[in-house]
Structure 1
Amino acid sequence: MKYLNYILIITGAVIAMYAKTGIEQNQYILIGGIIMLMLGVYRISRTIPSKQDKEEDIHDSEIE
């Protein structure tokens, strides 16, 4: 599953760049590429703990 996020990001970026380079830009392909790119970034950002969670963990370990 971890590699799926990177594949989504890379594929989305390539598709978005490909759709942008043509003389007649296909808006649907461009939108699809951007959606794939953003979905991959969102899935990766979900796995990163927030700063607030880290601070609570440090505070909890100091109390114990």
Structure 2
Amino acid sequence: MKYFNYIMIVLGAIVAIYAKTGTEQNQYILIGGIVLLMVGIYRISKTIPSKNEDEDLNNDEN
């Protein structure tokens, strides 16, 4: 499942770049690529623990 997030990011970036390079830009494809990119980044960022959680746990113990 972890690799799925990275695939979404890469695929979204490729689609967004592809939509941007054409002479006749298709905005729907560009938006779709950006959405894939952002969803992939969001899903990865959910797995990163917060720095504040560690500080809160240490303060509660004291």
Is 2:13 the partner of 1:30? Answer: no
Paired residues in the alignment total 62
Letter in 1 for 2:26: N
Measure how far apart 1:54 and its partner are: 1.6
CA RMSD of aligned residues (A): 1.2
Structure 1 residue ranges without an equivalent (≥5)? none
Distance between the aligned counterparts of 2:57 and 2:3, measured in 1? 28
Gaps of 5+ in 2: none
TM-score (normalised: structure 1): 0.88
The residue number in structure 2 matching 1:17 is 17
TM-score, with structure 2 as normaliser: 0.90
Q: Deviations over 1:13-55 (max 9, x none)?
A: 0000000000000000000000000000000000011111121
Give me the whole-angstrom Cα distance separating, in 2, the residues matched to 1:46 and 1:36: 16
Quick one: percent identity of the two aligned structures? Answer: 66
